[in-house]
Amino acid sequence: MNAISPDRPLCFLHAADLHLDAAFKGISSDAPSHIRKALARATFTAFERLVAMGCRLRPDFVLLAGDIHNHEEGSLRAQLALRDGCRALGDAGVRVFMVHGNHDPYGRRSTAISLPDNVTVFGPGSVEAAEVFRNGQLAAVVHGISHNTDRERTSLARKFRRSPQQVPQVGLLHCTLDVVASADVYAPATLAELQMAGLDYWALGHIHAPQVVHQAPHVVYSGSTQGLHVNEQGAHGCMLVEIAPDGVITTALYPLAPVVWGQVSVDISAHATLDSLDNALFGAAEQAAQQCGAGDGEGVERMLDGRVSPEPPEGVVLRLELTGRGALDGLLRREGAIRDLLERLREGLASLSPFVWIKDLELACRPELSMDVQRQRQDVLGEALRLALRLREDSKDSAHAGMLQDALEGLFERPRVRKAVSPPDGDELAALLADAEMLCMTLLEADQ
Tell me the pLDDT tens digit for each residue of 257-297. 999 999 999 999 999 999 999 999 999 999 888 887 666 67
- What is the C-alpha to C-alpha distance for residues 199 and 67, in angstroms, rounded to an integer? 23
Domain boundary among 194, 222, 256: 256
Within this chain, do residues 206 and 75 fall inside the same structural domain, yes or no? yes
Residue 174 belongs to a domain: yes
Residue 438 belongs to a domain: yes
At position 89, the amino acid (one-letter code) is L
Judged against a pLDDT cut of 60, whether residue 446 lies above it is answered with no
pLDDT in tens, 374-407: 889 899 988 999 988 888 887 666 545 566 677 7
Report, as an integer, the average pLDDT of 77-99.
97
CA 40, 42, 44, 48 dihedral sign is: positive
Residue 140 belongs to a domain: yes
Residue with the bigger pLDDT between 366 and 265: it is 265
Among the residue ranges 9-13, 172-176, 183-187, 438-442, the one predicted with the least confidence is: 438-442
Average pLDDT, the chain: 89
Report, as an integer, the average pLDDT of 169-192.
93
- What is the C-alpha to C-alpha distance for residues 436 and 381, in angstroms, rounded to an integer? 12
Domain boundary among 256, 279, 295: 256
Q: Which band of pLDDT confidence, cut at 50, 70 and 90, is reported for residue 82?
A: very high
Within this chain, do residues 342 and 391 fall inside the same structural domain, yes or no? no
Within this chain, do residues 229 and 270 fall inside the same structural domain, yes or no? no
Within this chain, do residues 275 and 160 fall inside the same structural domain, yes or no? no
Distances (CA, A) of 93 to 61, 89, 90, 336: 9, 6, 5, 58
Report, as an integer, the average pLDDT of 407-411.
77
3-state SS class at 264: strand
Judged against a pLDDT cut of 80, whether residue 442 lies above it is answered with no
Which candidate, 294, 229, 307, places its Cα nearest to that of 263? 229
Residue 1 belongs to a domain: no
Residue 427's CB is within 10 A of a number of other CB atoms, namely 8
Which residue range forms the structural domain that includes residue 446? 371-448
Within this chain, do residues 155 and 194 fall inside the same structural domain, yes or no? yes
| Domain containing residue 225: CATH number | 3.60.21.10
- What is the C-alpha to C-alpha distance for residues 205 and 145, in angstroms, rounded to an integer? 12
3-state SS class at 402: coil
Question: How buried is 171 (Cβ within 10 angstroms: 0-12 exposed, 13-18 middle, 19+ buried)?
Answer: buried
Report phi then psi at 62, rounded to 5. Answer: -120, 135
- What is the C-alpha to C-alpha distance for residues 20 and 264, in angstroms, rounded to an integer? 28
Distances (CA, A) of 68 to 64, 222, 229, 305, 346: 7, 13, 17, 29, 32
Judged against a pLDDT cut of 50, whether residue 3 lies above it is answered with no
Residue with the bigger pLDDT between 182 and 107: it is 107
- What is the C-alpha to C-alpha distance for residues 59 and 213, in angstroms, rounded to an integer? 23
Question: What does the pLDDT read at residue 423?
Answer: 79
Domain boundary among 368, 395, 422: 368
Within this chain, do residues 82 and 92 fall inside the same structural domain, yes or no? yes
- Cα end-to-end distance, the chain, whole Å: 73
Within this chain, do residues 200 and 317 fall inside the same structural domain, yes or no? no
Residue with the bigger pLDDT between 142 and 415: it is 142
Among the residue ranges 111-125, 147-161, 327-341, 373-387, the one predicted with the least confidence is: 373-387
Name the H helices within 264-379: 274-291, 297-304, 329-332, 337-349, 371-375
Judged against a pLDDT cut of 50, whether residue 447 lies above it is answered with no
Residue 2 belongs to a domain: no
Total domains, the chain: 3
Question: What does the pLDDT read at residue 293?
Answer: 61
Among the residue ranges 55-69, 110-124, 140-154, 366-380, the one predicted with the least confidence is: 366-380
Within this chain, do residues 296 and 395 fall inside the same structural domain, yes or no? no
Question: What does the pLDDT read at residue 340?
Answer: 95
Within this chain, do residues 274 and 350 fall inside the same structural domain, yes or no? yes
Judged against a pLDDT cut of 80, whether residue 373 lies above it is answered with yes
Which candidate, 246, 245, 285, places its Cα nearest to that of 265? 285
Within this chain, do residues 389 and 351 fall inside the same structural domain, yes or no? no
pTM for the full predicted model: 0.82
Judged against a pLDDT cut of 70, whether residue 434 lies above it is answered with yes
Question: What does the pLDDT read at residue 74?
Answer: 62
Residue 4 belongs to a domain: no
Within this chain, do residues 236 and 130 fall inside the same structural domain, yes or no? yes
Within this chain, do residues 71 and 163 fall inside the same structural domain, yes or no? yes
